[in-house]
Homo-oligomer: A and B are copies of this chain.
């Protein structure tokens, strides 16, 4: 998992940046620091090196480091205190909700290693909710995949995906093989798909959800229901995702 434009620090503790303008220096710095944090090099509560030190290490101006820190601060990854330093915050995943929302992209963007475990799968008849979402008759057969998603080994969400059946036969096996819904869909002829609508509620977890997400029972769940369509507007996937409320923050850009 190497980002070519990024090199690890060498023996002196210096970092080499790609100055070819393909990516802004401040972004590379932010990405590097983010990696270090997620790798555990800096843990929650730890103090980061001072802006001065970082500017030396990266070989940039302090302002450039500050631009990077500003980015991390905006994403609640760090907390800055004047006169004291910059400190690592508790880990909150910013989950971007957009027309092209993909779980693994979302985690990769924040440099977490995504992982999906198929808890179980089943063939069932569409109930009221599912039939409306997938625009099929009630009791039309659908496949359901129940997936536990992790980031850096921490459970992040427990999601259920429903696919209309004649079209997506055998998708459970595809997921076992690939571990990605996106890849699954492309194997079944869906090159691209889009999120049409997302509904968000907050509610207490069921005992199964609390168990799977390693969540205390009094901590809420953030539940999203999303409708995905292919490029022709045909529904391909109805997904219900349940996030651990205090480990995930949904971010909606209304541009």
Interface residues of A (CB under 8 A from B): 73-74, 79-80, 92, 94, 97-99, 101, 128, 132, 194-204, 218-222, 243, 245-246, 248-255
Contacts and interface: CB of A to CB of B under 8 A. Distances in A.
Contact of A203 (B79, B246, B253): B246
B204 A252 contact: no
A196 B74 CA distance: 14
B197 A220 contact: no
Most buried by B among A74, A80, A97, A195: A97
B201 A251 contact: no
Most buried by B among A94, A194, A253: A253
Copies of this protein chain in the complex: 2
A199 B198 CA distance: 14
16 contacts: A99-B254, A99-B255, A101-B254, A195-B254, A197-B252, A199-B251, A200-B222, A200-B250, A201-B249, A201-B250, A202-B202, A202-B245, A204-B218, A204-B220, A218-B218, A252-B252
A92 B225 CA distance: 14
Given A98-B254, A132-B73, A132-B74, A220 B195 contact: no
A251 B132 contact: no
Contacts of A202: 202, 220-222, 243, 245-246
